[in-house]
A = this chain, B = another copy of it.
Amino acid sequence: MEQFIEIFKALSDETRLRILNLLILSEESVCVCEIVDSLEQNQYNISKHLKLLKNVGLINESKDGRYKYFSLIKSEDLFITSLLQTISNISHQIITEDHKRLEKRFDIRVKKKCVVGVQNKHLLSRKN
A binding-site residues for B, Cβ under 8 Å: 1-2, 4-5, 8-9, 11-14, 17-18, 78-79, 82-83, 85-86, 89-92, 94
Question: Could you give 30 example pairs across A and B, Cβ below 8 Å?
Answer: A1-B14, A1-B17, A1-B90, A1-B92, A1-B94, A2-B14, A4-B17, A4-B90, A4-B92, A5-B12, A5-B13, A5-B14, A5-B17, A8-B8, A8-B11, A8-B12, A8-B17, A9-B12, A11-B11, A78-B89, A79-B86, A79-B89, A79-B90, A79-B91, A82-B82, A82-B85, A82-B86, A83-B86, A85-B86, A86-B86
Count the copies: 2
- Closest Cβ of chain B: how far from A104's Cβ, in Å? 22
Contacts of A11 in B (CB 8 A): 8, 11
Residue of A85, A89, A92, A94 with most partner-chain B CB within 10 A:
A89
